[in-house]
Amino acid sequence: MPVERGSLNPGTAERRPRITIVGSFMTDLMSRSPHLPVPGETVMGGPFQMGPGGKGANQAVAAARLGSDVNILVSLGKDQFGDFAYNNLLREGIGVEFVKRVEGMSTGAALIIVDDAKGENMIVVAPGSNSALGADDVDKGIQVILDSDYVLMQLEIPLETVEYTAKLAHASGVKVILNPAPGRPLSDELLRAVDVLTPNETEASIVSGITVTDLATAELAGKALVRRGCPTVIVTMGGLGVLVVDANGAQHVPGFKVDVVDTTGAGDAFNGALAAALAEGLGMRDAARWACAAAAISVTRIGTSVATAHRDEVEAFLAGRP
């Protein structure tokens, strides 16, 4: 039976979409606060929660829960948080053959404060062992990368590793999605090796040099990045949805109105779902709408990967939307 494409129902196909994540794991240490503190201010908050996180691991969980066959290349410390990370990846059905364990380095951690009133957040990342993921680790996982439909990366690992992986995958015909978060300047050489770039407004401003505040400026930034060599740029804009920009122009994909509880990890839910949808064969606009739905569900829950939706939840959510 031929592989069905475009249905987002890999259970009917002989071969599930294959996605490789080259990225980070962070142990999320989170508390809620009545408001985000200003410098020097101590705020009484709570409760405290610890959970699995990091952009790479979050995006891997999002794609796996939507039915993709996911492998991850990630670097963990040989510590309690590293064990926690490894066991969580196993529990989510993510391939761990190329998980690296590093002696003498702590597993990455993220300190997160969430505004109880608005659901907005502040995050400080301590990368730890994520900084040890190098080109040699990518070489060890080269076959799983070459067997992938999409490689998905972020910027919580060394930029040199991201560049090396993107060029390797691109040269071999494997599609590359780069979520440029945290935002930093990127070379034209890297942009030319990326098929889909997914910055938020802040990241789009940093990468393009154009301040993004609305759909019009997002279009300007997106077009500037397309001219620099990236075929498709998707600017994520929270409740506004996303703007998909390519050589043919810009398309706005509206977001979904939901009751926001916690925006932490929404971008990761979007990116994991986008990769899953594209690998399944959906067109860019339809894939972006699917990903917006996954992100909308995630912000109605507390946490990052633990808040990520499963396939049946996204399907039910979309079934109730025009």
24-60 per-position pLDDT tens digit: 999 989 898 999 888 999 999 888 988 888 999 999 9
| pLDDT surpassing 70 at residue 12 | no
Give the mean model confidence (pLDDT) for residues 274-298: 96
Sheet of 121-126: strands edge to edge? Answer: 48-53, 26-33, 109-115, 121-126
Gap between the Cα atoms of 179 and 64, Å rounded:
18
| Catalytic residue positions, numbered | 268
| pLDDT surpassing 90 at residue 298 | yes
Q: Note the pLDDT of residue 7.
A: 44
Q: Check residues 320 and 108 and name the one with the higher pLDDT.
A: 108
265 within 8 A of 53, measured Cβ to Cβ? yes
Sheet of 249-253: strands edge to edge? Answer: 99-102, 69-77, 18-22, 150-153, 175-178, 196-197, 232-236, 242-246, 249-253
Q: Check residues 151 and 126 and name the one with the higher pLDDT.
A: 151
Token pair of 301, please? 């829950």
Token pair of 96, please? 């761990």
Token pair of 317, please? 């959510």
Q: Note the pLDDT of residue 124.
A: 87
Give the mean model confidence (pLDDT) for residues 211-227: 98
- Give CA 264 to chain center in angstroms: 12
- Is residue 247 exposed (0-12), middle (13-18) or buried (19+ Cβ within 10 Å)? exposed
What's the mean pLDDT when you consider all of the chain? Answer: 92
Gap between the Cα atoms of 274 and 177, Å rounded:
9
Q: How far is CA 71 from CA 48, 56, 145, 163, 221, in A?
A: 30, 11, 9, 19, 32
Give the mean model confidence (pLDDT) for residues 110-116: 87
Name the CA radius of gyration of the chain, rounded: 18
